[in-house]
Amino acid sequence: MKRLLMSTFAILTLAGSGLGVTANSASAAASAITCAKVFDDGNTAGIKCTGGAFNGWARCKNGKDAIGATAASGTTSYAYCTSYNSSLAYPRVWGYG
């Protein structure tokens, strides 16, 4: 019985530590990207990020989210609301994914 309990404890400990590493690694990777809106002409939002590849997006007045092309770190992804016959929503809502 003691051996079974020790084996079960060891398995749970290893499984728990594996989950902890995965969650921490994911949050570290997600927090490594930093972004800023660098362009806004009322119709298009330009999002520039560093830390990894990304897609910029912006909310349009008609409620749709315009998604820019995938861009490399240090470059700009442009989200065009004109693709949805709209303009940028106010207040501006944008992000990356």
DSSP class of residue 83?
G
pLDDT digits (tens, 9 = 90+) for 28-72: 555 689 999 999 999 999 999 999 999 999 999 999 999 999 999
Q: How close are the terminal C-alpha atoms of the chain, in Å?
A: 50
Architecture of the domain spanning 34-97: Sandwich (2.60)
Domain residue ranges of the chain, discontinuous segments joined by +: 1-31, 34-97
Q: In the predicted model, what is the mean pLDDT of residues 71-95?
A: 97
pTM (2 decimals)? Answer: 0.68
